[in-house]
């Protein structure tokens, strides 16, 4: 078996095209750097300190703030995870009540557990024929604030993994009217605001704290991100918590990658985004030929709480074909050497960026059109899957997440867990949104859903027993 480094080098020489993060897309003709060993240093004189920036790293922070129009930017080397943990910790005190969109990333729930916060959940709207999480309703947020006037913080994800954007301006206005802080997980929207063809960033729409993963949709190394603060009074607490949640020896390679990313946008952003958007527009026009596969498009705006939509996320539905998303993703990988970001029951997700090549998007276009023609014959005489959400009832919270994590637990068979209280976070990964949160009751329809997902070849995290169908529950 190859060791990791050798395997990565061999893979880099193959012709697999990445329709997935990181946003640099391994585009070495567009991006390059010195031998990493030659520039990997520690906090020597002249190179500042990320945890107390006073010169070169302070200037980097100011440059990030300038292009995103935020009050303060905190570069991150531990991903949006560190930004979410620090932002939530800075905006709350132990025992506070928080309003949380149920489709938030598991890092949000980890912060809730560590700060012993009391979550009130709000669910995104769902579409009957579109098996994805849609928008968060501003009206539902206001209803929750009226019922719970002691809510201190609102946490939502926008855009979603699939590019669905909620009405941030209205939500921010409501949050501030009720004296609540609004934190937006914009991990998948670091490219917002640089071209009119993409949504505006929550940073400019009234959100107080915004976390973005540079590495997801921009040319930056994995783990690089930024926390934007528009509340100066929280900046000292944010800095304190970032020193808790990030390494005391942050990588200068990662910080240099952030610098290169920001410089590229400063110097060439307009040209790069113009070209990128034109290529995406051509792709979507070509996809109008599809007869079996279906794409998520801007037509979803104005429906199911969807305020806007990000065309950089290419969501291809297999509903009403005899294939599931896993089969489509596998076919793209094996036959066409195209690797997508995610495969789910009903769709695949491809991620794009300014670093995608014209040739790469053409390959993806031709592959999808070819597969669509294959499905004309393949579907004949075979049962088609119905469109809609393969889901389960909303879980019931029996204990707060922190109570479940600090309680005695045992591991039992998933099949025998009906009625027990989950003691871990069960997720389909990617994207890492918990299907079941610690402290919630396990129901039969959840067990059936997870069992089918495993049988269909999907990755489920949080189960015990080395990937076997066992689950940790409270005693």
pLDDT of residue 468: 67
**Which of 295, 323, 329 has the alpha carbon at shortest distance from 430?**
329
Count of C-beta atoms within a 10 Å radius of residue 24: 24
Q: Which residues sit opposite 209 in a β-bridge?
A: 183, 229
CB 97 within 8 A of CB 117: yes
**Residue 339: Cβ-neighbour burial (10 angstroms; 0-12, 13-18, 19+):** middle
pLDDT of residue 384: 57
**Residue 55: Cβ-neighbour burial (10 angstroms; 0-12, 13-18, 19+):** exposed
3-state secondary structure of 260: helix
Q: How far apart are CA 312 and CA 301, in angstroms?
A: 15
**Predicted confidence (pLDDT) per residue in 418-450, tens digit:** 999 999 999 887 777 889 999 999 999 999 999
May I ask the CATH class of domain 401-474?
Answer: alpha beta
Distant-in-sequence, close-in-space partners of 34: CB < 8 Å, separation ≥ 6? none
Structure-token pair, residue 448: 């059936």
CB 91 within 8 A of CB 181: yes
Domains 40-262 and 401-474 are alike in CATH topology:
no
119-133, 232-246, 422-436: which has the minimum mean pLDDT?
A: 422-436
Count of C-beta atoms within a 10 Å radius of residue 178: 16
| Full strand arrangement of the beta sheet holding 426-428 | 434-436, 426-428, 460-461
CATH of 268-378, one of 3.40.1280.10, 3.90.1150.150, 3.30.2130.10, 1.20.1050.10: 3.90.1150.150
DSSP summary character for residue 120: E
Topology given in CATH for the domain delimited by 40-262: 3.40.640
Alpha helices, DSSP H, located in 51-163: 56-68, 79-91, 106-114, 138-147
pLDDT of residue 127: 81
459 band by pLDDT with thresholds 50, 70 and 90: confident
DSSP 286-330: HGGG-SSSEE--GGGTTSTT--EE-TTEEEEE-TTSS--HHHHHH
pLDDT at residue 86 tops 80: yes
**Which of 112, 144, 117, 168 has the alpha carbon at shortest distance from 434?**
112
Alpha helices, DSSP H, located in 159-304: 168-177, 214-217, 235-245, 252-286
pLDDT of residue 250: 98
Q: What is the biggest distance separating any 2 CA atoms in the chain, rounded to whole angstroms? A: 71
Peptide bond between residue 208 and the one before it cis (omega within 30 degrees of 0): no
What value does the mean pLDDT of the chain take? 94
The model carries a pTM of 0.96
Distant-in-sequence, close-in-space partners of 403: CB < 8 Å, separation ≥ 6? 439
Helix, strand, coil shares, percent, the chain, to 5: 40, 20, 45
Residue-range domain boundaries for the chain:
40-262, 268-378, 401-474
pLDDT of residue 383: 59
pLDDT of residue 431: 76
pLDDT at residue 387 tops 60: no
Q: How far apart are CA 253 and CA 37, in angstroms?
A: 9
Structure-token pair, residue 277: 């958007």
**Which of 301, 298, 306, 348 has the alpha carbon at shortest distance from 323?**
348
307 band by pLDDT with thresholds 50, 70 and 90: very high
- Mean pLDDT confidence for 323-347: 96
Structure-token pair, residue 231: 């509340």
């Amino acid at each position: 078996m190859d060791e990791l480094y050798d395997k990565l080098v061999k893979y880099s020489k193959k012709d697999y095209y990445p329709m997935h993060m990181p946003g640099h897309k391994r585009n070495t003709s567009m991006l390059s750097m010195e031998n990493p060993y030659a520039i990997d240093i520690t906090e020597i004189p002249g190179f500042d300190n990320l945890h107390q920036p006073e010169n070169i790293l302070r200037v980097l922070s100011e440059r990030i703030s300038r292009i995103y129009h935020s009050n303060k930017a905190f570069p991150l080397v531990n991903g949006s995870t560190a930004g979410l943990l620090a932002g939530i910790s800075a905006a709350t005190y132990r025992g506070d009540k928080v309003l949380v969109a149920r489709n938030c990333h598991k890092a949000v729930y980890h912060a809730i557990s560590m700060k012993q916060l009391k979550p009130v959940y709000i669910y995104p709207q769902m579409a009957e024929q579109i098996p994805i999480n849609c928008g968060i309703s501003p009206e539902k947020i206001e209803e929750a604030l009226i019922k719970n006037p002691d809510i201190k913080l609102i946490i939502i994800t926008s855009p979603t993994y699939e590019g669905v954007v909620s009405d941030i301006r209205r939500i921010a206005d409501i949050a501030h009217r009720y004296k609540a802080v609004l934190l937006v997980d914009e991990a998948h929207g670091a490219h917002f605001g640089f071209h009119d063809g993409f949504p505006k960033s929550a940073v400019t729409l009234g959100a107080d704290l915004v976390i973005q993963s540079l590495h997801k949709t921009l040319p930056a190394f994995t783990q690089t991100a930024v926390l934007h603060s528009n509340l100066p009074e929280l900046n000292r607490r944010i800095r304190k918590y970032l020193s808790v949640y990030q390494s005391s020896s942050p990588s200068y390679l990662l910080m240099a990658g952030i610098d290169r990313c920001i410089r590229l946008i400063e110097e060439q952003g307009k040209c790069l985004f113009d070209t990128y958007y034109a290529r995406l527009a051509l792709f979507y026009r070509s996809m109008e030929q599809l007869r079996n596969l279906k794409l998520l498009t801007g037509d979803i705006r104005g429906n199911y709480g969807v305020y806007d939509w990000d065309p950089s996320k290419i969501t291809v539905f297999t509903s009403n074909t005899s294939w599931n998303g896993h089969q489509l993703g596998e076919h793209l990988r094996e036959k066409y050497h195209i690797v997508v970001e995610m495969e789910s029951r009903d769709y695949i997700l491809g991620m794009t960026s300014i670093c995608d090549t014209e040739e790469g998007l053409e390959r993806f276009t031709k592959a999808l059109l070819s597969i669509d023609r294959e499905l004309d014959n393949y579907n004949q005489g075979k049962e088609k899957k119905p469109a809609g959400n393969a889901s389960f009832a909303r879980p019931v919270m029996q204990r707060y997440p922190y109570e479940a994590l600090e309680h005695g637990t045992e591991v039992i068979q998933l099949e025998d867990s009906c009625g027990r209280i989950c003691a871990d976070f069960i997720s389909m990964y990617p994207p890492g949104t918990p299907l079941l949160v610690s402290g919630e009751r396990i129901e039969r329809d959840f067990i059936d859903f997870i069992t089918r997902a495993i049988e269909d070849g999907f990755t489920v995290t949080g189960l015990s027993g080395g990937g076997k169908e066992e689950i940790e529950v409270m005693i």
